C-alpha cells in the first residue's frame, strides 16, 4: 500500500494498492521533487471516471510502468472533485497546450508547480494516435536533463499567459440584445430531429434549457419552448434515462440520446430535476413531473447518506465493463417477465435478439441491449403494466454486482441537490422532498461548517475537511433561497445573507468585483482564477450574481444589487464572445434586466386565506418574481431582513398580498387571482 491508503477520497484510495509510489497533493511531494531534482508526474481524475480506470489497469497497476514512473518522477494523485481549484488550473493548462481536455488529466510539473507537459488519457504504449507512457517517460527525462532552461521558460510562459487571461477587463452591463443573441445561437445549433444542441456526443445542457424557459416567458413566440420540449422528451425516452431505476446517465455518445456514458452523478440529477420541474410548471406535462419524481427518488434511495447529505456518483463500470449493470439480453428479460410479457416489453424498449449495444472503439457486438422507448403506438401496454414490468426487472437487476459508488459528500453538489428537492417539493406539494432538503441543509450547517463559521468542502465517513470554494458558498446560498420559498422560514434567508458575507470576505476581488474560485497560490496568479462560463456545473460567479440579485429584491439592500452588476460587467466580455456557454449567467441577467416583482404576503401561516395566496407563488413559474411571507403572529424577523416590508399588514383580518417593483409597492390585494394578474402584468412588460 502507498500513501494514498490514508486519504479520505475514494478516488485516491482506489490507487492505494498501485505499485506507483503515489503522494497526495501537498508540500511533501513538491519538496521531495526539489530535493531529488525530479519533475512531478501529476494525475487528476475522479472515482467514477471510466478512462481513469482504464489508465490505472493498463499503467498504474503495472509493475514495469510503475517502476519507470517512480524512477523518473515524484508521482502525485489528485481527486478533481475534492480539489476543483487544482483541476481548474491544470485543465486550463491542458486546453491551452493541446486544444482539448478531459479526465484522467496528465501533467508534468516543475518542483515549484509550473506545468511543462499536458495530456489526458495516455495508454501504456502508443496507440489511437496517442503517445504511450513508456514513450513519454524517457523523453521527459531527456528534456528535463538536457534542456532544463527551455522547460522552465516554457512553463513560466504558460502560467503567464493564463494569468493574463485571468485579468480580463470589465465590459459594459449587457442588455436584452445578449439574451436574444444567445437564443439565436442555441437555435442555430439545435437538433430539430432529436433535440439537444450540436452533434454527438450530446450533453443535456440544463443551464441552457432553463435559460430558454425564461426566453419563452419573456418572448412567448420565440420558439424557445419547442426546443426545450423536444430535448426533454428525447432525453427521457432515450438510453440517457435509466428506465428501471430512474435518474440520468452522464451524457449520450450518439446524437439520438440512445447510447449513454453510464455514469450517474448527483449533479446531473439535481440540475435536470430543476429543469424538468420548471418545464412542468410551464407546460403541465405529466411526464415531466414523473421524470422529476423518479430522478429524485433515485437520489433519496441510492445516493442518500444516513447522516443527511448526498453521495457524489455511481460508476459507469461494474465487473470491469462499462454499462454491465444496466444492459440486458433479450433472454434475460424473458426469464424475468415470461415469454409473452417479456416480448411485449422488448418491443416497447427496443430490445433486439442480437443486441443493440456495441462495445469499445471497434464497435464489438455483445448481444446486450440498452433500454430506450419507441415512439408511442396505439397497441402499447398501459402505463401501469409497463411499471409492473419495470419493478420486476429492477428487482432482478438489484441482484447484480452494483457499480462502485463515490460516497463522499460535497457541499457544492449538495447545494444543487437541496435546491432541486426544495423546488420540486414546493411545486408538487411534496413534503418528503422538502424535508430531505432541510435535513441536508442542516447536515451542512452541523457537519460541513468549520468552528469559525466558514464552510468546508468535503465530508466522508464522519470526517470533514478542505476549506470551501466559491461554488460551495454560491450554490448553498441559492439552495437556501429555494428552501425559503418552500418553507417560508426566514432563518434560511438569514443564513443565506451570512454566507454572502463570508463568501465575499474569502473570494471577492476588490479590484474588479469578481469572485475567485479559490485563494490564489503564492507566485501563481492563474491559480484560483475567476470562472465565467458554465461547464457541467454552473459558473460560480454567475451563481453568485443570481443570488445577489434575488437577495437584493427580497431584502431591499442596494449594495447586493451593486455587487451583482459588478460581476455582470466582468462576465460580459466572455458572454459576448460565446453567449450560449453562459446559461446560468443568462438566467441571472434575465432577472436583473426585469421587469421583476417582489411579493410580500402578510397573514397567519396555515390559515386557508393565507394558503390561498402562498400556494400559487409556490406552484407557479414566475422567474422574475421573489416572495416573502410576513407572519403577523410572529413579527420582527422579516422586518429586520427586509425593512421595506415593515408596514405591510393584513386587511380586516384577512391575508393580504403586496406586489412591488423595486420595493415600491401597490395597494394590497386579498384575492389570489388579482395578485397573479399583477405579477403577470409586471413580468410580461418588455424592458428595452
- The dihedral over CA atoms of 181, 186, 187, 189, expressed in degrees to the nearest 10, equals 130
Cis omega before residue 81 (within 30°)? no
Task: Report d(CA 43, CA 78) in Å as an integer.
Answer: 6
Long-range (24+ apart) CB contacts under 8 A made by 126-134 are 128/361, 133/59, 133/65, 133/68, 133/69, 134/65, 134/68
Q: Is the dihedral of CA 255, 260, 266, 272 positive or negative?
A: positive
CB atoms within 10 A of CB 681: 12
Between CA 254 and CA 232 the distance in angstroms is 16
Indicate the Cα dihedral angle 614, 617, 620, 622, nearest 10°. Answer: 170
The residues with which 105 forms a beta bridge, in sequence order, are 44
Can you give the pLDDT at residue 135? 96
Rounded to the nearest angstrom, the gap between the alpha carbon of residue 297 and the centroid of all alpha carbons in its chain is: 18
- pLDDT score for 524: 75
Largest CA distance in the chain: 88
Separation between Cα atoms, residue 241 and residue 219, nearest integer Å = 30
CA distance 288 to 278: 9
Average pLDDT per block of 10 residues along the chain, 688 residues long:
95 98 97 97 97 96 97 98 96 93 96 95 90 95 94 89 67 93 98 96 97 96 97 98 98 96 97 98 98 98 98 96 96 98 97 88 78 91 96 98 97 98 98 98 98 96 96 98 96 97 95 91 79 94 98 95 96 95 98 95 94 95 96 85 93 96 90 96 69
Q: Which three cell numbers stand for residue 456?
A: 468546508
Residue 78 gets the label, from left (phi > 0), alpha (psi -120 to 50) or beta, of beta
Domains belonging to the chain, first-starting first, are 3-166 (3.40.30.10), 326-399 (no CATH), 508-593 (no CATH), 597-683 (3.40.30.10)
Q: From 194, 44, 202, select the one nearest 122 (Cα to Cα).
A: 44
Structure pTM? 0.96
HSE (CB half, 13 Å, CA atoms) of 545?
33
The strand pair at 456-460 and 409-410 is best described as antiparallel
**For every residue of 502-559, which 3-state class applies, written as one string?**
HHHHHHECCCCCCECCCCCECCECCCCCCCCCCCCCCCHHHHHHHHHHHHHHHHCCHH
Asked if residues 139 and 74 have their Cβ atoms less than 8 Å apart, the reply is: no
Identify which of 164, 230, 167, 226 has the alpha carbon closest to the alpha carbon of residue 202.
Answer: 230
Question: Across-strand partners of 241?
Answer: 248
For residue 688, what pLDDT is reported? 43
Amino acid at each position: 500500500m502507498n500513501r494514498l491508503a490514508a486519504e479520505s477520497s475514494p478516488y485516491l484510495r482506489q490507487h492505494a494498492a498501485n505499485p506507483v509510489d503515489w503522494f497526495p497533493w501537498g508540500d511533501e511531494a513538491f519538496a521531495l521533487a526539489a530535493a531529488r531534482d525530479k519533475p512531478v508526474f501529476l494525475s487528476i481524475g475522479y472515482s467514477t471516471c471510466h478512462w481513469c480506470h482504464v489508465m490505472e489497469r493498463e499503467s498504474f497497476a503495472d509493475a514495469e510502468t510503475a517502476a519507470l514512473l517512480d524512477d523518473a518522477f515524484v508521482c502525485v494523485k489528485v481527486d478533481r472533485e475534492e480539489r476543483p481549484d487544482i483541476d481548474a488550473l491544470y485543465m486550463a493548462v491542458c486546453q491551452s497546450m493541446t486544444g482539448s481536455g478531459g479526465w484522467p488529466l496528465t501533467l508534468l510539473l516543475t518542483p515549484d508547480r509550473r506545468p511543462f507537459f499536458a495530456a489526458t488519457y495516455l495508454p501504456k504504449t502508443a496507440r489511437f494516435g496517442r503517445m504511450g507512457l513508456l514513450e513519454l517517460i524517457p523523453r521527459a527525462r531527456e528534456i528535463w536533463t538536457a534542456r532544463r532552461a527551455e522547460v522552465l521558460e516554457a512553463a513560466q510562459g504558460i502560467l503567464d499567459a493564463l494569468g493574463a487571461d485571468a485579468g480580463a477587463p470589465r465590459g459594459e452591463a449587457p442588455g436584452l440584445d445578449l439574451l436574444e443573441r444567445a437564443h439565436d445561437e442555441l437555435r442555430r445549433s439545435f437538433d430539430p430531429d432529436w433535440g439537444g444542441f450540436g452533434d454527438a456526443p450530446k450533453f443535456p445542457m440544463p443551464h441552457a434549457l432553463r435559460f430558454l424557459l425564461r426566453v419563452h416567458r419573456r418572448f412567448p413566440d420565440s420558439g424557445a419552448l419547442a426546443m426545450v420540449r423536444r430535448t426533454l422528451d428525447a432525453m427521457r425516452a432515450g438510453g440517457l434515462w435509466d428506465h428501471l431505476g430512474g435518474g440520468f446517465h452522464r451524457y449520450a455518445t450518439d446524437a439520438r440520446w440512445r447510447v449513454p456514458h453510464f455514469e450517474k452523478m448527483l449533479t446531473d440529477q439535481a440540475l435536470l430535476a430543476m429543469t424538468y420541474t420548471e418545464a412542468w410548471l410551464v407546460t403541465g406535462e405529466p411526464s415531466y413531473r414523473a421524470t422529476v419524481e423518479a430522478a429524485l427518488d433515485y437520489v433519496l434511495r441510492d445516493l442518500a447518506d444516513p447522516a443527511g447529505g448526498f453521495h457524489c456518483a455511481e460508476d459507469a463500470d461494474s465487473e470491469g465493463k462499462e454499462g454491465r449493470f444496466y444492459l440486458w439480453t433479450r433472454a434475460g428479460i424473458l426469464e424475468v417477465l415470461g415469454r409473452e410479457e417479456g416480448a411485449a416489453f422488448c418491443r416497447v424498449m427496443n430490445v433486439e435478439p442480437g443486441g443493440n449495444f456495441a462495445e469499445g472503439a471497434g464497435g464489438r457486438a455483445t448481444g446486450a441491449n440498452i433500454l430506450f422507448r419507441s415512439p408511442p403506438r396505439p397497441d402499447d401496454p398501459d402505463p401501469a403494466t409497463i411499471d409492473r414490468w419495470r419493478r420486476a426487472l429492477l428487482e432482478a437487476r438489484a441482484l447484480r454486482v452494483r457499480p462502485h459508488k463515490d460516497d463522499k459528500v460535497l457541499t457544492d453538489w449538495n447545494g444543487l441537490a437541496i435546491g432541486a428537492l426544495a423546488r420540486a417539493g414546493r411545486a408538487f406539494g411534496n413534503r418528503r422532498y422538502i424535508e430531505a432538503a432541510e435535513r441536508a441543509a442542516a447536515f451542512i450547517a452541523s457537519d460541513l461548517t468549520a468552528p469559525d463559521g466558514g464552510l468546508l468542502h468535503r465530508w466522508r465517513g464522519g470526517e470533514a475537511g478542505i476549506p470551501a470554494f466559491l461554488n460551495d458558498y454560491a450554490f448553498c446560498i441559492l439552495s437556501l433561497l429555494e428552501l425559503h420559498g418552500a418553507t417560508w422560514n426566514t432563518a434560511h434567508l438569514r443564513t443565506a445573507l451570512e454566507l454572502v458575507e463570508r463568501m465575499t470576505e474569502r473570494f471577492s476581488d476588490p479590484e474588479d468585483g469578481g469572485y475567485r474560485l479559490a485563494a490564489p497560490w503564492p507566485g501563481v496568479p492563474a491559480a484560483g482564477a475567476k470562472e465565467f462560463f458554465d461547464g457541467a456545473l454552473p459558473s460560480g460567479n454567475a451563481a453568485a450574481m443570481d443570488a445577489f440579485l434575488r437577495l437584493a429584491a427580497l431584502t431591499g439592500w442596494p449594495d447586493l444589487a451593486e455587487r451583482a452588476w459588478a460581476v455582470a460587467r466582468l462576465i460580459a466580455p466572455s458572454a459576448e464572445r460565446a453567449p450560449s456557454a453562459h446559461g446560468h449567467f443568462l438566467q441571472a441577467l434575465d432577472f436583473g434586466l426585469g421587469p421583476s416583482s417582489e411579493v410580500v404576503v402578510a397573514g397567519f401561516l396555515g390559515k386557508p386565506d393565507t394558503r390561498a395566496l402562498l400556494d400559487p407563488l409556490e406552484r407557479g413559474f414566475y422567474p422574475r418574481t421573489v416572495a416573502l411571507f410576513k407572519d403577523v403572529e410572529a413579527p420582527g424577523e422579516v422586518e429586520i431582513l427586509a425593512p421595506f416590508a415593515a408596514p405591510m399588514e393584513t386587511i380586516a383580518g384577512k391575508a393580504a398580498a403586496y406586489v412591488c417593483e423595486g420595493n415600491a409597492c401597490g395597494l394590497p390585494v386579498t384575492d389570489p387571482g388579482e395578485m397573479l394578474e399583477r405579477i403577470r402584468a409586471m413580468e410580461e412588460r418588455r424592458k428595452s
